[in-house]
Amino acid sequence: ISLSRAYHAKVLDHYNNPRNVGSLDKNDINVGTGLVGAPACGDVMKLQIKVDDNGVIQDVKFKTFGCGSAIASSSYVTELVRGMSLDEAGKIKNTVIAKELSLPPVKLHCSMLAEDAIKSAIKDYRAKRQTPTLGPNAVN
Ligand code: FES
Ligand code: FES
């Protein structure tokens, strides 16, 4: 059967040419890493943001082990958040992603994965920045 009958053209485009696939250094103090899973299907998404001193997302990378809609959702969200402030990015709703990609109801949780991933990356970044930097010999 034709794939295009099951998936909207925008999903196929992101699936065939995913944007910003890869990894950033998770030990970089400017990088936040989000790792989330979808209980419904077991798919996993890793999304990383690199934030500049003004709190603006300057780079984004993702790796998704999952269905076409999850890959398309993560690819789209990486394009969306680049250049956004953390506050803006943290407000992205999965419904915006689902609408852009015309996801059917059964695929809504795939876009939820992308919303969760960006939130998780922001949380990780903020937690990292709040932790006082300890010297290499600090016992804690
Ligand atoms: Fe199989 Fe998502 S449920 S890839
Ligand atoms: Fe589970 Fe798409 S089917 S993330």
Active site residue 41: yes
pTM attached to this predicted model: 0.86
- Check: CB of residue 68 under 8 Å from CB of residue 15: yes
- Per-residue pLDDT, averaged over 31-53, amounts to 94
Q: What is the predicted pLDDT for the residue at 38? A: 87
How far apart, in Å, are the Cα atoms of 88 and each of 71, 76, 82, 115?
22, 16, 11, 12
Is 45 a pocket residue for ligand 1 (Cβ < 6 Å)? Answer: no
Is 68 a pocket residue for ligand 1 (Cβ < 6 Å)? Answer: no
Is 67 a pocket residue for ligand 1 (Cβ < 6 Å)? Answer: yes
Whether the CA torsion 15, 63, 60, 89 is positive or negative: it is positive
Q: What is the predicted pLDDT for the residue at 116? A: 97
pLDDT-based confidence at 139, cuts 50/70/90?
low
ipTM of the complex: 0.73
pLDDT-based confidence at 21, cuts 50/70/90?
very high
List, for residues 61-81, the tens digit of each pLDDT value.
999 999 999 999 999 999 999
- Return the ligand number nearest the Cα of 11: 2
Instruction: Classify residue 107 by its DSSP letter.
Output: G
Nearest CA to ligand 1 atom 3: 41
Enumerate domains of the chain plus CATH numbers. Answer: 3-127 (3.90.1010.10)
- Return the ligand number nearest the Cα of 113: 2
Q: What is the predicted pLDDT for the residue at 1? A: 45
Task: State yes or no: pLDDT of 37 exceeds 70.
Answer: yes
Averaged pLDDT of the chain: 91
How far apart, in Å, are the Cα atoms of 38 and each of 42, 53, 56, 109?
5, 32, 28, 7
Active site residue 67: no
Is 127 a pocket residue for ligand 1 (Cβ < 6 Å)? Answer: no
